[in-house]
Amino acid sequence: MYLSACTNMMSNDALTKVEIQNNSLYQRIGGLPVLTKIVDEFIDEVVASPRTKRSFDGIKLKPFKESVVAQLCKLSGGPCVYEGETMANAHRDANITEAEFDAFVDIFRETLSKYLPTREKNELLKILAPMKRDIVKPA
């Protein structure tokens, strides 16, 4: 009853914003519980993979995972605040090669496929794709 009364008092613009927010990528992928599972599994995989583990020497994994979850949450339309470094600053001295980046992406795609439908997986990858230029060391 209360929700119906609130809805009737909202303008059409406000209703549209509520609908968009409720249909955000963040909502469609399952919010923080699913993002946390994805990030936990993905980071565990890249830390263990011979193709990518070099990049994680000396990294404290728990805060790193929390930062990645916050970033994905924010980028997908969720309520999180990302307070980490820019991708350029975070990867400045990492010397990540094109081959390493491709390995990260392969592992990330595999992980996403376990948790997300194709549409949501591709939408998230599209959001993240521009970060490549800030992550990969120029040849």
* pLDDT tens-place string over residues 54-67: 988 889 999 999 99
* Total-model pTM: 0.80
> With 50 as the cut, is the pLDDT of residue 12 above it?
no
Please tell me the predicted confidence (pLDDT) of residue 9: 37
Domain range for 125 is: 2-135
Q: Which long-range contacts (CB under 8 A, 24 or more apart) does 132-137 make?
A: 132/101, 134/86, 134/87, 134/88, 134/91, 135/87, 135/91, 135/94, 135/96, 135/101, 136/96, 136/97, 136/98, 136/101, 137/94, 137/95, 137/96, 137/97
Looking up residue 77, the CATH number of its domain turns out to be 1.10.490.10
In total, how many domains does the chain have? 1
> Does residue 8 carry a pLDDT above 90?
no
pLDDT at 47 over 70: yes
